[in-house]
Structure 1
Amino acid sequence: MFFSLIACLIILSSFITFVWILTVKSQTPKKIVVDRTPDVPYENVTFKSGTNGVKGWFIPSKISGGKSPLIIIIHGWGSNRSRMKRYIKPLYSEGYSLLLFDVRSHGESEDVKAPTVKIFREDVIAAIQYAKSRNEIDPNRIGILAHSFGGLGSIIANQEDLGIQAVVADSIPVQFSTIMKAALKMYKMPYYPLGPMMINIMFIRAGISRNELKEYDVPKALRNRKSAVFLVHSKKDDFVPSTELDYIVRQVDIPHIYVESKGHRSSETDPKFWNHVLPFFHNHLHGTGGQVSCPTKMPL
């Protein structure tokens, strides 16, 4: 009996250790090299988020004179700013200035111990503050185009009055169970019993309390949004399923479209994407003295 108890304790201890190690690994995004640069004039920039340095690119508007509207482009988990080049040309062509940056623990930005959606939220806020400090930018005409986890962080941040006018969130995960299922899928491991345990460990490591977790309820955050939001998700997303958008629209009346592009990082290849996203930004960012050309509109 005694030896059976010891054996059980050893097995339990080994399992807990395994889950902890797997959680730390899952919570440590792979650093992808920033190996591509914009095909338009740009400036390397650095700004602070908390005590950490954040690296990015500022792309001035192609239209000279006056203060321009700006769109902040934000990547997802395990990505970096160079992976977001796919969004640059259509927005730059419309006359927007752009700001792209590496979220902390990604790309060339400094690392944090246990990154979560909280880090994305904080870095979104820091990027907005930095953008408003630039003389070329109209601080009253700032929008966000964010992918995946970057979109999640932007939706959470948009509960605060940050002075932005529009957020487009592309292919965002919404439920923590979905996020964890996607992570475990890469390791070919089942969600139960690992998933719920790993979610709790992640928040413990990040110092996020249960009360703070209430801020990360996406339908609630959308109901409390301070600026206009438009959601996009591909029905053929094989990483974060489009049922995440289904989950949102069942609870919140929010402008959205489904596209048909294959994969998690290709929504913009469907013509419907830009035919809706560009008019959405134009409607909310052109202002009274807008410099942005008006794109061809399609019914929403």
Structure 2
Amino acid sequence: MDLGLALAGFWGARAAAHALILKGLRAPRVAALVSPESLGLAAQPVDIPGPNGKKLFAWFMPVPGTTPTPTPTPAILVMHGWGANASMMLPSVAPLLDAGFAVLLLDARCHGASGDEPFTSLPRFAQDIEAGLDWLAVQSRVDASRLALIGHSVGAGAALLSATRRDDIRAVVSISAFAHPYEVMRRLLAQHHIPYFGVGWYVLRHVQRVIGARFDDIAPIHSMTRVRCPVLLVHGEDDDMVPFDDAKRLLAVGQPGRVQLLAVAGRHDPTEALQTEPSQMLAFLKGQLGSCQSACNSGQIQPVGDGSHSHGEMKSAPA
């Protein structure tokens, strides 16, 4: 075979492989499944300026005001997981509003009604979260000193990453977060019967090059050692996508007194985790964002329940 043809074939195959990898970094875009109105929620659709000049679609739900000039309230930004969108997190909103929290449900780039990109990634989810926080902070009905994050799966990993580099995040509720993206990718390769040595190794190396970040630098298990606020880890005991053991590992490396694990009955679905036992999540958020400034400013996690599990595992009631 002519050397030129051989090289052309090699580089052609390499380019095709890179194109397939890039395609894999774009989740299928899913339309909104439900609307706020269908659930009896009053929401304002908003377009938020995002990274790279892209718009981020969101639903903003301020706490219903009873006076002409309502007092600014704490606010929670909610970020969905990979291949999902803001509508899938809507069932969790009513208890948050009832508890006195404004809510921003955000679509990440390449998801829902937000702008498109050649690819997305955990770091890009984090960038989108931070654009949403910047928008929330200037809303007249929001107390910018009391902001929190709720994230699911990749959205949870992104929330933890954002909390390592911002001081305006008072609390994070991490739902079904994985410990390390390298392990997630290894499981994905195995599911598709792609051998790690040779092909798989190259795929993982190229993914890191494309997203512009080393897996070690963005891994939730490393973010947990650097987060600047209290964290509540929520994880389904029967999660068949991210093993429950990942949550235990995240707990083990967390800062003592600033992280808890809430084990819930259910799998990977965020609505299962949020609706099984919302009172414990709400107690955590109220402890960090409530009106008692001394409690909020203490820097220590406010215990859920009797406080006996501030760095341990607590069990929620079965559904």
Residue from 260, 268, 286 that aligns with 2:290: 286
**1:87–1:56 Cα change, 3 Å:** same
Give 1:24's aligned residue. Answer: 22
Aligned counterpart, 1:270: 276
Q: Aligned partners of 1:24 and 1:93: how far apart in 2?
A: 42
Instruction: For residue 281 of structure 1, give the secondary structure of its aligned residue in structure 2.
Output: helix
Aligned pairs for 1:87-236 (under 5 A) are 87-181=92-186, 183-184=188-189, 188-190=192-194, 192-193=196-197, 194-206=199-211, 208-210=212-214, 215-236=217-238
Instruction: Go from structure 1 to structure 2 and tell me whether the alpha carbon gap of 1:249 and 1:190 turns closer, same or farther (over 3 Å shift).
Output: farther
Q: Counterparts of 1:191 and 1:91 in 2: how far apart (Å)?
A: 45
Query: Displacement of 1:219 after TM fit?
Result: 3.1
Which ranges in structure 2 are unaligned for 5 or more consecutive residues? Answer: 294-303, 310-319
Partners of 1:171 and 1:283 in 2: how far apart? Answer: 22
Residues 17-26 or 109-118, more deviating: 17-26
8 Å CA contact 1:236, 1:261 repeated in 2:
yes
Letter in 2 for 1:56: A
SS for the counterpart of 1:77 is: coil
1:13-41 Cα offsets, whole Å, 9 max, x none, are 67645643431221011110124211211
Q: Is 1:298 aligned to 2:296, yes or no?
A: no
Question: Judging changes above 3 Å, is the alpha-carbon distance between structure 1 residues 191 and 92 closer, same or farther for their aligned structure 2 residues?
Answer: farther
Q: Secondary structure at the match of 1:150?
A: helix
8 Å CA contact 1:46–1:56 kept in 2: the answer is: yes
Partner of 2:76, secondary structure, is strand
What is the CA–CA distance in structure 1 between the aligned matches of 2:13 and 2:251, rounded to whole Å? Answer: 39
Distance, in Å, in 1 between the alignment partners of 2:213 and 2:287 is 38
Instruction: Please list the CA deviations of residues 64-91 of structure 1 after superposition, one character each: whole Å capped at 9, or x if unmatched.
Output: 3211111111001111101111211221
Letter in 1 for 2:45: N
- Residue 297 of structure 2 is matched in structure 1 by none
Q: Which has the higher contact order (CA 8 A, sep 6+)?
A: 1
Relative to the length of structure 2, the TM-score reads 0.80
Measured after TM superposition, the shift of residue 246 of structure 1 is 2.6
Return 5+ residue gaps in structure 1 as ranges: 290-296
Q: Secondary structure at the match of 2:169?
A: coil
**What do the CA deviations read for 1:95-118 (whole angstroms, capped 9, x no partner)?**
211000100111111112221111
Question: Residues 267, 49 of structure 1: CA spacing in aligned structure 2 closer, same or farther, 3 A cutoff?
Answer: same
Range moving further from structure 2, 277-286 or 230-239: 230-239
> Are the structure 2 counterparts of residues 209 and 177 from structure 1 closer, same or farther at C-alpha, using a change threshold of 3 Å?
closer
Deviation at 1:199, TM superposition (A): 2.2
Q: 1:184 to 1:33 in 2, by over 3 A?
A: farther
SS in structure 2 of the partner of residue 261 of structure 1: coil
How far is the alpha carbon of 1:264 from its aligned partner? 3.9
The verdict on how the C-alpha distance between 1:209 and 1:260 changes in structure 2, with shifts beyond 3 A counting, is closer
Q: Contact 1:275 / 1:298 at 8 angstroms: preserved in 2?
A: no
Residue 114 of structure 1 contacts residue 202 of structure 1 at CA under 8 Å; is this kept in 2?
Answer: no
Which range moves more in the overlay, 32-41 or 128-137?
A: 32-41
Please state how far the C-alpha of 1:263 moved relative to its aligned partner. Answer: 3.8
Residue 244 to residue 9, structure 1, CA distance change in 2 (3 Å): farther
Cα RMSD for the two superposed structures: 2.6
Q: Is the 8 A contact 1:125 1:162 kept in 2?
A: no
What is the SS of the residue equivalent to 2:224?
A: helix
**How far apart, CA to CA, are the structure 2 residues paired with 1:191 and 1:251?**
31
Go from structure 1 to structure 2 and tell me whether the alpha carbon gap of 1:8 and 1:54 turns closer, same or farther (over 3 Å shift). Answer: same
Query: Percent identity among equivalent residues?
Result: 21
Q: Which residue of 1 aligns with 2:315?
A: none
Is contact 1:182–1:240 with CA below 8 Å preserved after alignment? no
Counting matched residue pairs gives 285
TM-score relative to the length of structure 1: 0.85
Shift of 1:11: 8.7
Q: Using a 3 Å threshold, how does the CA distance of structure 1 residues 191 and 281 change in structure 2: closer, same or farther?
A: farther
In structure 1, what is the equivalent of residue 250 of structure 2? Answer: 248
Q: Give secondary structure in 1 for the equivalent of 2:150.
A: strand
Name the SS for the 2:228 alignment partner: coil
